[in-house]
Amino acid sequence: MAFEKVLTRNVGNRDALTVKGYRQGGGYEGLAQALKMEPDAVIEEVKKSGLRGRGGAGFPAGLKWSFIPKGKDKPKYLVCNADESEPGTFKDRLLMEHDPHQLIEGCAICCWAVQANNCYIYIRGEYTDAADILERALKDAYEEGLLGGSVLGSGFKLDMYVHRGAGAYICGEETGMLESLEGKRGQPRVKPPFPAVVGAFGSPTVINNVETLANVPHIITRGADWFKAIGTDERNTGPKLYAISGHVERPGTYEHPIGVTFREMLEAAGGMYRGGNLKAFIPGGASAPILKADQIDIKMDFDTVAKAGSMLGSAAVIVMDDTTCMVRSVARLSKFFNHESCGQCTPCREGTNWMELLLKRLEHGEGRESDKQLLLSICKNIGGNSLCALGDAAIGPVRSLVEQFPEEIDRHVREGGCPFPHRRHFQNGA
Amino acid sequence: MSVSEPQPRLTGLPEAVRAEITEIRKRYPTDEAALIPALHLAQNAWGGWLPDEAIEAVAVELGLAPAKVYGVVTFYDLFHQKPVGRHRIRVCTNLSCQLRGSDEIMETLHQELGVDEDEVTQDGRCSYIHFECLGSCDTAPMMMVDDTYHENLTPAKVRQVLKGLK
């Protein structure tokens, strides 16, 4: 059966940028339907669908919503995580730039379900186009009565705002994001309390990723059973965006049923770049341990990728061919984590720095045989010893380098530097 | 380092910016939450960076301690505490771009502009830095010039983009 695109059906359809055009494709029917349901029934439907968070952690969305306390003693908030900064990830940008109302509708349904009257879309500061498109879409939605004092005449009040970040990966971590939203340095909070109890401005808060929320209108209009029928099994359901980049012929965001194999994804993206041979791939953004070419037939769902020792994460797939130096690649990722560590927890702040230095030393020919053990020891000291997941994320690629490509490290030591010729992509400066 | 500062330098927040900040404050239950949006506006007003007087003006506007505002400014990559070129170039050099030739883009900028990373050209026109993933890995290599993404770059394309910057 051919897979029908759900989340990306409006990509390239410029009409969908307006409320009027979006409605022509059935848009905002999910919101209208949800407003006729009891809020709890909306949560139940999302729970039943099996929708898991598309930002990285894969936490069940409906369950997260159900943690929000009932009652009106405190305001409640939805913060949409549009801080897409995981290296390799560019799927949310596509959703925001091409179908902003799908996201706004998903946010509005979530707000109704948890009875939140305020929603902030926290978008990374660099996404200026997406922020402008969302601002225009929000203005249009207010004018059409989809937001404001009485959403679609229901009496439900909902205000929604775009909030631009200022360039910090850690603000994608949910409590770092809340700190940043409140005008502070984006340093993650101690949990518990969890945001569902004490979130933005001390109030109960749901935080969901853009793609997660974009699924919601479809779950309401087409039902949880339709959603569950897509995917690998009942724990891995629905359509999924895969952002594929690196050494592939046609990098891009591709929508597949969750659980598509990596081989199928690669074929859809035109195969290997310039006919190269697959060496390794990262299945879920920079934080995900690297998989070798022999995993080409892996099903790209949460549980299968986890079982293989990595993670689906944000489903940002970075493909590397056999001209790629793994030490150099992981050194680049370590540089990233070192730069982005917020500095709050010592194991992460110091450890990410040491990992970057050791990997650079190896790449420059001053590495030692014992560096493999040293790297693993640093990983052990960081793992589980910091407040948020950044430290754990930083060790994923390093540990997989040492465990899966030890011979490559050895060659760097033996040959006094990088054995891979520095690849030139452009001839004669053209 | 060659430095060109915007002339004349502002001494306080322009009225239009103050009015905009007043509007933004209404979106949040605390004034502090308007800080990052206010800093973006102030940075634009000061020509792309935040000298001490800009930081102090924002602190006064929102009733915050200047030290608190400094703390926020230093945390985020998009805020600058030293002069930048009239055009600010950010080149993604993270893995997906590295795999597709971002090194050659950095080399081209170095050759064409004749200054090192994070320096300003003699005429104050440009400064460039390498940057973490900008979420444009499908069009690697890429760079951001001010607010605009330039994608699927080649050295020739970089030279063409530079030519268009006044």
Q: Which of B55, B75, B95 is the last residue of a domain?
A: B75
Same domain, B53 and B25: yes
Residue B103 counted as domain residue = yes
| Threshold 0.90, pTM exceeds | yes
Structure tokens at A66: 């159900």
What SS3 class is residue A146?
A: coil
Query: What pLDDT digit, counting tens, does each position of A315-351 carry?
Result: 999 999 999 999 999 999 999 999 999 999 999 999 9
Give all strands of the β-sheet with B126-131 in edge-to-edge order.
B126-131, B87-92, B143-145, B148-150
Same domain, B100 and B44: no
Q: Which one-letter DSSP state was computed for residue A319?
A: E
Same domain, B92 and B153: yes
Task: Give this complex's ipTM.
Answer: 0.95
Query: What pLDDT digit, counting tens, does each position of B21-77 carry?
Result: 999 999 999 999 999 999 999 999 999 999 999 999 999 999 999 999 999 999 999
Q: Name the amino acid, one letter, at B164.
A: G
Output the CA angle A355-A357-A363, nearest 5 degrees: 100
The answer to whether the Cβ–Cβ distance between B132 and A169 falls below 8 Å is: yes
pLDDT of residue A428 exceeding 70, the answer is no
The answer to whether the Cβ–Cβ distance between B104 and A426 falls below 8 Å is: yes
Tell me the CATH number at B126.
3.40.30.10
Which of A127, A324, A425 shows the shortest C-beta gap to B104?
Answer: A425
Residues of chain B in contact with residue A425, where contact means CB-CB under 8 angstroms, are 100-101, 104
Query: What pLDDT digit, counting tens, does each position of A224-280 carry?
Result: 999 999 999 999 999 999 999 999 999 999 999 999 999 999 999 999 999 999 999
B39 shares contact with chain A (CB less than 8 Å)? yes
Chain B: residue whose CA lies nearest to A329: B95
pLDDT of residue B2 exceeding 50, the answer is no
Confidence of residue B11 (pLDDT cuts 50, 70, 90): confident
Structure tokens at A174: 């949910």
Residue B130 counted as domain residue = yes
Residues of chain B in contact with residue A329, where contact means CB-CB under 8 angstroms, are 95, 98-99
Q: Are B108 and B126 in contact (CB under 8 A)?
A: no
The answer to whether the Cβ–Cβ distance between B37 and A184 falls below 8 Å is: no
Query: What pLDDT digit, counting tens, does each position of A357-374 carry?
Result: 999 999 999 999 999 999
Residue B3 counted as domain residue = no
User: What's the per-residue H, E or C state across A193-259?
Assistant: CCCCCCCHHHCCEEEEEHHHHHHHHHHHHHCHHHHHCCEEECCEECEEEEEEEECECCCEEEEEECC
Q: Which of B75, B102, B117 is the last residue of a domain?
A: B75
Interatomic CA distance for residues A12 and A399, integer angstroms:
40
A35 shares contact with chain B (CB less than 8 Å)? no
* b/e sequence B8-23, b meaning 16+ C-beta within 10 Å: eebeebeeebeeebee
What pLDDT does B21 receive? 98
The answer to whether the Cβ–Cβ distance between A246 and B35 falls below 8 Å is: no
pLDDT of residue A100 exceeding 50, the answer is yes
What pLDDT does A77 receive? 98
| Residue B69 lies in domain | 15-75
When pLDDT is averaged across residues A393-412 and rounded to a whole number, the result is: 97
Residues of chain B in contact with residue A88, where contact means CB-CB under 8 angstroms, are 94-96, 133, 137
What pLDDT does A87 receive? 97
pLDDT of residue A300 exceeding 60, the answer is yes
What pLDDT does B1 receive? 43
Measured in Å, how far apart are chain A's first and last C-alpha atoms? 44
pLDDT of residue A2 exceeding 80, the answer is no
Q: Name the amino acid, one letter, at A385.
A: N
The DSSP line for B57-120 is: HHHHHHT--HHHHHHHHHH-TT--SS---SEEEEEE-SHHHHTTTHHHHHHHHHHHH-S-TT-B
Counting the structural domains of chain B, the total is: 2
**What domains does chain A contain, in order, with CATH numbers?**
14-228 (3.40.50.11540), 231-321 (3.10.20.600), 326-414 (1.20.1440.230)
Q: Regarding predicted confidence, which is higher, B77 or B1?
A: B77
Average pLDDT, chain A: 96
Query: What pLDDT digit, counting tens, does each position of A25-68 carry?
Result: 999 999 999 999 999 999 999 999 999 999 999 999 999 999 99
Tell me the CATH number at B31.
1.10.10
The answer to whether the Cβ–Cβ distance between B76 and A169 falls below 8 Å is: no
Same domain, B64 and B125: no
Residues of chain B in contact with residue A426, where contact means CB-CB under 8 angstroms, are 101, 104, 154-155
**For residue B127, which phi and psi values (nearest 5 degrees)?**
-140, 150
Q: Are A140 and A19 in contact (CB under 8 A)?
A: yes
A55 shares contact with chain B (CB less than 8 Å)? no
Q: Which residues pair with A78 in a beta bridge?
A: A119, A206
The answer to whether the Cβ–Cβ distance between B40 and A88 falls below 8 Å is: no
Q: Which residues pair with A330 in a beta bridge?
A: none
The answer to whether the Cβ–Cβ distance between A87 and B133 falls below 8 Å is: yes
Same domain, B67 and B93: no
According to DSSP H, which parts of A341-389 are helical?
346-363, 371-382
